[in-house]
Every structure is written in structure tokens, then in C-alpha cells.
């Protein structure tokens, strides 16, 4: 067996900085706007929700942001995470391509989410905050924040999309074990939730609705802040630890990626892996193709519009220019709950507009097929979200088989699927459906965007 099967870094090689892509881009992303005045938001607008340290990171012009010692200490519980070469998958596919995957399932939550949950909890605790509110879809983010809150003595209150709350009871148990409190969303606890329930008593919920509920509670309580698990610049910043480690690991085996593939919900694991490599690309040191993979049921990059929109359903957040399907779009209940968000990180959307990356959409059966192939060869059952990236890796590897190219493919296996086994059960029993999203549905969804003069 070759020695690049599992590439590890020592504790002393753990990166000490997060990387901010913005100063290296040819132009900065458009500003975030206040929904009332339509003027760029300032720190004071965000202060009811976020601690100043995170607001500063959201807009920083520094290329590198030092990781606090108190955060590094918690990161060391699972970081540096391993980089694997998928020898067995390559062999099964008969491809000359080399496939590497950065495995984030070794974290306490089983995904990449603690990479940002931990610093977010740390900065809030440091600012004297007592409680954090948040939304969660499949439950990965809620689990990560509950764990992170426990590290720094914060209460964590979570609104989980009702469809997932009912389908995935183990996430609730995990969150409660870590000390968090969890409610199904929409709930009777907030005005936003009550309004939705009055109109749609059986609403399955959405990430946009759950965000409205969590933001409402944080905005009304001075000792409470809100934490977001994706989309925002500071979240992507924290996730760059993934790509910084992967760069060091690939260097150890002398490999340079030709293709980088990642799944995109709000864009944080994808940006976290890809941005350090994009820095290298912009500096002319390598030239990988960078490819996002989104679900065909929620295709914000490939079929959404690039426009100012709200981050939540009720329209309480600032307006962000992003690829969006419209803030009241409710995607079909696919199993990759973490990819069911109507928008896309403004920074990723901007990078996409600049032509520095590409995007494709995949239907869920093809993704689960890839997930099963991966499990049988590599021995890890992937979360439904990264099966999208794996399906695109396999597609690329099979193209290499046709052409004989020995491309190096890199992806983030951003979580394991141990709490998503019922979805695999449905797939294996032949009970999974692919949902076609009609052009009419897309057009109707984007008809309701807020009016922002150009």
C-alpha cells in the first residue's frame, strides 16, 4: 500500500491563522445593505446580534486573522483533520485520477460546523453574552453550536426545521446531551413562527423561517446573540482552516489539485476548502478548476438570480447581494437538509460572478448512489450533503478514465452520515424520489425579491 492513504499533520503543524480571501480578489463583494435605508450596514446595525469581534471579522481587510489560543485549544480535540487518498474508490472506478478527501467527520458534531461554532461561541462569551440562538436544518449546526456553547458556558437555544426535527430525532438527543435547548420551527414562541403557523398550520418549516425565529429572540434580548452556521464572511473565514491544512497535507505528498469539488448549501465547507487554493491560483502558483455542487432541488448558483435578498423568510436580516431563489422559496424535502437554503454566501456568489469558479447541480438519487459506492470502498458513510460532491468527483474521475488524464481531484468529505441512516435505508429500498424543479417554480420564487435600485 502506498503511503499517501492517510496524510496527517502533527499538532504543531496546525495552522495559526484563518485566511480572508477578500483582499486578494480583483474587486470586493458588494456591500450588505440595511433593509430600511438601503445604505450599507455599519457595525451598530449588527451589534444587537453579533459581538464586535465577529462584526470586525465580517468586514476585515486583513489577509490573515490569528486564531485565539482558547480556540486552538478546542480545535485540538479533532484538528488537524486527516486527508485521505481514495485508493479503493479509484480502483473501483478504474480511473487514473487521484482522488483526495479532507475528512471533517472526525469533529464532535461529525461535520465541519464546529470549526466556526467554537470561535463564534468564544467571541460571544468573551463579550459577556449569556445565550446564543440559532437555526438548524438537518441538525449539524445545532449540534456544533450546542457543543461549542458547552465549552465556554453559554446557553444555546435552537430552532430546527420541523421536517428534520421529526425525521431525525437523534440530532435532538445529541443537542440536549451537549446541553442545548431545541424547538421545532415554525414555533409558537416567536411572532415570525406564529405568523407562518396561522397561514400554514402544517408548515414543514425552512431554514429561512428558523433564522427569522432565532434572530427575533436574539434581537429582543440584550444578553442574547444570534449565531449563523454558514453564508456570512466570518463563517467562511473560520472554515478556511480546512483548506489551509489540506494545502500542507498535499504538499507532503507532492500533489497539486487540478480539480477542487465541494457541496454548497450556504457555501461554508466549500469556501473553507477552496479559498486557500484560490489564493494560490490568483497568485499563479497553481491552476485548479474549482467546482461547487448543489442539489437540483435548491439550485441557487445554477438557476437562481444574482440580486439583493433577505437571508431569512420574514425579511428581518440585512439585504445581501447573492445568488438566490428568493427568501420565501421552500425547497422540496430532500435528505440533504444542510443544502436546503434559498441563498448562497455573498462572497461565494461574488467569486462565481468573477468567473473564478463553476457550479453544477445534482439530483439526490445520483448522489446517494455515489455515497453508497464511497461507503463500500472507503468505509465511511458520508452525510447526504457531501454525497453531492462525491457524485461530481466520481463524474470527473470517470471522465479521466475516458481521456486517460491523471488529474488530482480534491474534495471535502464534510461530514459523516451516521445520523442520516434512514435516508440510506430509503435509498437502498428504492423508495427515494428525485424532485424536478420547474422553471415556473423558479420564476415564481424570484418574483418576490425586495426592490433595490441598482
Does residue 115 bind ligand PLP (CB under 6 A)?
Answer: no
Choose between 235 and 397: whose C-beta lies nearer to ligand PLP. Answer: 235
Instruction: Taking each helix axis as running N to C, give the angle between helix 346-353 and helix 233-252, from 0 to 180 degrees, rounded to the nearest 10.
Output: 60
Does residue 415 bind ligand PLP (CB under 6 A)?
Answer: yes
Cell readout for 1 is 500500500
Near ligand PLP by CB under 6 A, which window of 6-14, 60-68, 383-391, 400-408? 383-391
Near ligand PLP by CB under 6 A, which window of 125-133, 257-265, 299-307, 311-319? 257-265
Does residue 311 bind ligand PLP (CB under 6 A)?
Answer: no
Does residue 317 bind ligand PLP (CB under 6 A)?
Answer: no
14: how many CB neighbours lie within 10 A of its CB? 17
Near ligand PLP by CB under 6 A, which window of 49-57, 71-79, 252-260, 267-275? 267-275
Q: Which helix (H) or strand (E) element contains residue 361? A: strand 358-362
Cell readout for 60 is 476585515
107, 160, 164, 230: residue in contact with ligand PLP (rule CB under 6 A): 230
263, 347, 380, 419: residue in contact with ligand PLP (rule CB under 6 A): 263
Does residue 267 bind ligand PLP (CB under 6 A)?
Answer: yes
* Contact between residue 272 and residue 20 where contact means Cβ atoms under 8 Å apart: no
- CA dist 33 and 453 (Å) reads 12
Choose between 112 and 279: whose C-beta lies nearer to ligand PLP. Answer: 112
Residue with cell 447541480: 361
Q: Which helix (H) or strand (E) element contains residue 132? A: strand 131-136
Q: Min. distance of Cβ 348 from ligand PLP in angstroms?
A: 9
Does residue 84 bind ligand PLP (CB under 6 A)?
Answer: no
Does residue 240 bind ligand PLP (CB under 6 A)?
Answer: no
Choose between 279 and 335: whose C-beta lies nearer to ligand PLP. Answer: 335
Near ligand PLP by CB under 6 A, which window of 57-65, 192-200, 244-252, 379-387? 379-387
Q: Is 376 helix (H, G, I), strand (E, B) or coil?
A: helix
Span 129-188, contacts to ligand PLP by CB under 6 A: 140-141
| Helix and strand counts by DSSP (H, E) for the chain | 18, 15
Beta bridge partners of 99: 409
111: how many CB neighbours lie within 10 A of its CB? 29
338, 343, 346, 371: residue in contact with ligand PLP (rule CB under 6 A): 338
Q: Min. distance of Cβ 312 from ligand PLP in angstroms?
A: 16
Choose between 54 and 400: whose C-beta lies nearer to ligand PLP. Answer: 54
* DSSP conformation letters of 157-226: EEEEEHHHHHH-HHHHHHHHHTT-EEEEES-TTSHHHHHHHHH-TT----HHHHHHHHHHHHHH-TTEEE
* Contact between residue 268 and residue 112 where contact means Cβ atoms under 8 Å apart: yes
Does residue 266 bind ligand PLP (CB under 6 A)?
Answer: yes
Cell readout for 252 is 507532503
Residue with cell 467562511: 236
Q: Min. distance of Cβ 340 from ligand PLP in angstroms?
A: 9
Choose between 95 and 269: whose C-beta lies nearer to ligand PLP. Answer: 269
Residue 94's φ and ψ, nearest 5 degrees, are: 65, 35
Choose between 269 and 411: whose C-beta lies nearer to ligand PLP. Answer: 269
- CA dist 162 and 201 (Å) reads 12
212, 225, 268, 364: residue in contact with ligand PLP (rule CB under 6 A): 268
Q: Min. distance of Cβ 259 from ligand PLP in angstroms?
A: 18
Near ligand PLP by CB under 6 A, which window of 243-251, 349-357, 382-390, 399-407? 382-390
Choose between 237 and 400: whose C-beta lies nearer to ligand PLP. Answer: 237
Sign of the Cα pseudo-torsion (75, 76, 77, 81, in order):
positive
Sign of the Cα pseudo-torsion (372, 380, 89, 387, in order):
positive
Choose between 148 and 400: whose C-beta lies nearer to ligand PLP. Answer: 148
How many residues bind ligand PLP (CB under 6 A)? The answer is 20
Does residue 116 bind ligand PLP (CB under 6 A)?
Answer: no
Does residue 108 bind ligand PLP (CB under 6 A)?
Answer: no
How far the first Cα of the chain sits from its last, in Å, is 58
The site for ligand PLP (CB under 6 A) is made up of: 111, 113, 140-141, 230, 263-270, 338-339, 383, 385-386, 414-415
Amino acid at each position: 500500500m502506498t503511503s499517501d492513504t492517510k496524510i496527517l499533520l502533527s499538532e504543531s503543524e496546525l495552522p495559526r491563522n484563518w485566511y480572508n480571501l477578500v483582499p486578494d480578489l480583483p474587486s470586493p463583494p458588494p456591500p450588505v445593505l440595511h433593509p430600511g435605508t438601503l445604505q450599507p450596514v455599519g457595525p451598530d446595525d449588527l451589534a444587537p446580534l453579533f459581538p464586535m469581534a465577529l462584526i470586525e471579522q465580517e468586514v476585515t481587510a486583513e489577509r490573515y486573522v490569528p486564531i485565539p489560543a482558547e480556540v486552538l485549544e478546542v480545535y485540538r480535540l479533532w484538528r488537524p483533520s486527516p486527508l485521505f487518498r481514495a485508493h479503493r474508490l479509484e480502483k473501483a472506478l478504474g480511473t487514473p485520477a487521484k482522488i483526495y478527501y479532507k475528512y471533517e467527520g472526525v469533529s464532535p458534531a461529525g461535520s465541519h460546523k464546529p470549526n466556526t461554532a467554537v470561535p463564534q461561541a468564544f467571541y460571544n462569551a468573551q463579550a459577556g453574552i449569556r445565550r446564543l440562538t440559532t437555526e438548524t436544518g438537518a441538525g449539524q449546526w445545532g449540534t456544533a453550536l450546542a457543543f461549542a456553547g458547552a465549552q465556554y458556558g453559554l446557553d444555546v437555544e435552537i430552532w430546527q426545521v420541523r421536517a428534520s426535527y421529526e425525521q431525525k430525532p437523534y440530532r435532538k438527543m445529541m443537542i440536549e446531551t451537549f446541553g442545548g435547548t431545541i424547538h421545532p420551527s415554525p414555533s409558537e414562541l416567536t411572532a415570525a413562527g406564529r405568523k407562518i403557523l396561522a397561514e400554514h398550520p402544517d408548515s414543514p418549516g425552512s431554514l429561512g423561517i428558523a433564522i427569522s425565529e432565532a434572530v427575533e429572540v436574539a434581537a429582543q434580548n440584550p444578553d442574547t446573540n444570534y449565531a449563523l452556521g454558514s453564508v456570512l464572511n466570518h463563517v467562511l473565514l473560520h472554515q478556511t482552516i480546512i483548506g489551509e491544512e489540506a494545502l500542507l497535507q498535499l504538499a507532503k505528498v507532492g500533489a497539486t489539485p487540478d480539480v477542487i469539488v465541494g457541496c454548497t448549501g450556504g457555501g461554508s465547507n466549500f469556501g473553507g476548502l477552496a479559498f486557500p487554493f484560490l489564493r494560490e491560483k490568483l497568485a499563479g502558483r497553481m491552476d485548479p478548476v474549482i467546482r461547487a455542487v448543489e442539489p437540483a432541488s435548491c439550485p441557487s448558483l445554477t438557476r437562481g438570480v444574482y440580486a439583493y435578498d433577505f437571508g431569512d423568510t420574514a425579511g428581518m436580516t440585512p439585504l445581501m447581494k447573492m445568488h438566490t431563489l428568493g427568501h420565501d422559496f421552500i425547497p422540496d424535502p430532500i435528505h440533504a437538509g444542510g443544502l436546503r437554503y434559498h441563498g448562497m454566501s455573498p462572497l461565494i456568489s461574488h467569486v462565481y460572478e468573477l468567473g473564478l469558479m463553476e457550479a453544477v447541480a445534482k439530483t439526490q438519487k445520483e448522489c446517494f448512489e455515489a455515497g453508497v459506492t464511497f461507503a463500500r470502498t472507503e468505509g465511511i458513510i458520508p452525510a447526504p450533503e457531501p454525497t453531492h460532491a462525491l457524485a461530481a468527483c466520481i463524474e470527473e474521475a470517470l471522465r479521466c478514465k475516458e481521456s486517460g488524464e491523471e488529474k488530482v481531484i480534491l474534495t471535502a468529505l464534510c461530514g459523516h452520515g451516521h445520523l442520516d441512516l434512514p435516508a440510506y435505508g430509503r435509498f437502498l429500498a428504492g423508495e427515494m424520489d428525485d424532485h424536478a424543479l420547474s422553471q415556473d417554480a423558479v420564476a415564481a420564487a424570484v418574483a418576490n425579491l425586495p426592490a433595490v435600485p441598482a
